């Protein structure tokens, strides 16, 4: 099975100068927690991603006014990617290795054409693989919490 068979296609994208309120509204409208940040909406060249957690931890928790910030102010620039032709197994391995819950899918020109989230893995793979991905991705965050 390939990433193209399980990915969410045509994800809602924002640009680096999109306001955080606009980005948050996109998350609500699209029922997602991650918006790819692209150079422009014509070519969708991936620059980074912004998550609901980024808004919470890098803006609100630090006392910054999210209404005054843009995506570029808090986005994650180091994004791990796969292509539509990547095997689901390789995608899962990358998620586990990099301990990320979502992977951007890029086309041959570097444009964002999809996203793969843990939910996509859960819906489209067996329970063993799903459990393995969730366990491996969660190791870092679980070890950073104290009892």
How far is residue 138 from each of residues 47, 131, 134, 143, measured CA to CA in Å?
Answer: 25, 10, 6, 9
Assigned token pair, 14: 């924002």
Q: Does domain 3-143 have CATH number 3.40.1180.10?
A: no
In the chain, domain spans: 3-143
6-63 pLDDT, tens per residue? Answer: 999 989 999 999 999 999 999 999 999 999 999 987 888 999 999 999 999 999 999 9
Give which of 118, 108, 1 is closest to 51, Cα–Cα: 118
Residue 139: which of 111, 83, 97 has the closest Cα? 97
pLDDT tens for each residue of 100-144: 999 999 999 889 999 999 889 988 888 887 778 878 878 855 444
């Amino acid at each position: 099975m390939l990433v193209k068979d399980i990915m969410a296609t045509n994800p809602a994208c924002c640009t680096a100068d999109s306001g955080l309120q606009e980005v948050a509204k996109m998350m609500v409208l699209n029922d997602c927690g991650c918006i790819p940040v692209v150079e422009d909406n014509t070519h969708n060249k991936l620059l980074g991603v912004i998550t609901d957690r980024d808004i919470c931890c890098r803006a609100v928790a630090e006392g910054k006014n999210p209404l005054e910030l843009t995506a570029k102010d808090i986005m994650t620039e180091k994004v791990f990617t796969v292509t539509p032709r990547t095997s689901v197994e390789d995608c899962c391995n990358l998620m586990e290795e990099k301990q990320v819950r979502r992977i951007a899918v890029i086309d041959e020109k570097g444009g964002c054409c999809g996203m793969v989230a843990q939910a996509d893995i859960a819906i489209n793979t067996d329970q063993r693989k799903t459990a393995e991905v969730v366990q491996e991705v969660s190791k870092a965050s679980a070890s950073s919490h104290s009892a």
